[in-house]
Structure 1
Amino acid sequence: MSDTKPAWMAPAALVVAVIALALAAWGLLRPSSTDNADASSAPSSGDAKAEICQAFTTVRNAVSLQTNANLGTDKVARQAVAANARLATLGGGEFLLSRLNSGVPGDLADAVRSFANDLTYIGMGQLAGAPGDDPTQAQRQQSAQDTATKIDELCR
C-alpha cells in the first residue's frame, strides 16, 4: 500500500482555501445589522464582555487550528494551509475589531484592540512574505501572545 496522498487532495484543499477567503472577504465587506444602530442599543457591559470574550476565543481557536494544520508535504497543500493560516490571522484581527463596542470594559477593549491589531499586522506581514524568523514578526507574535494571556485573565 502506498503512503502518497490521492491526487485530488491538493486541488481540493486549494478550492477550500479560496472559498474560505471569499467568504471571509464577503463577511468583512457586508454591512452589519449593527451599523445603523444607535448608541442607546449598545449591549450592557456584561453582555458586551461575554460577546467579546467569546469572539476572542473563536479567533484564537481559528488561528491555532489553521496555523497547525498539516496536509502533508505536497507543495499545493502546504500553500493552502499557509493561505488558511493567513486568512485566520488577518480575518481574526478584523473580526475582533468589528465586534468592539462601547459596552466592552475599557481595559478589556484596549487589550482586544491591541491583540487584533497585532494579528492584522502579523497577517499582512505573512502576505508580504516576511519569513518566520523576521524580528518584527517575532515581536508582534510575542506581543499577541502576551496580550492573549491578559485577555484570558480579563475574561474570567
Structure 2
Amino acid sequence: MSKVPLTIQGAERLRVELQHLKAVDRPNVIAAIAEARSYGDLSENAEYDAAKERQAFVEGRIQEIEGKLSNAQIIDPKLLDADGRAVFGATLDLEDQESGAQVTYQIVGEDEADIKGGKISVNSPIARALIGKFAGDIAQVQAPGGIREYEVLDVRYE
C-alpha cells in the first residue's frame, strides 16, 4: 500500500473517529446483536441481520482507518520550506480570472477534503493544476464547463 498524505489535523480526526468506532460503535453493535439473538429464530430476524450489517460496516471502517494511519505520511504545513511554491498542505488564495471571485483552498489528503471548508483533495483537478505554482502564476483547470483560469494571489503554510 502506498503512503497516504495527511495533515496533522486530518490524522487527528481519523484517530478520533477510530477511537469512537472502537469505544462506542463496536460495543453498541455487539449489544444489538446480543439483543437480536434473544428474539429467537435468526433466519427471519431483521434486527439480527441489520445488526450484523452494521457490525460489518464498523469493522470495515476500523480496518480502513487503521490501514490509512499505518501508511500515513503526516505533513505539518507550518514546517514546510517550499519557497512560496504550492505543495501539499499549503493554503492558497486564488482569484477566478473570469468572474473575479476570490477563494481560499488548502491542499489536503483525500480523507480530509471538504470543499465547503476550503479543503481540496491533492488528487482533485484544481489541486493538480495548482501544485508547483507561485504567487502571481495562472493555473488552468479542466472543469466540467471547460477550462477555468485562477491566479494564485498568495501561498501560505499554516
Relative to the length of structure 2, the TM-score reads 0.28
Higher strand share: 2
Larger Rg: 2
Higher helix share: 1
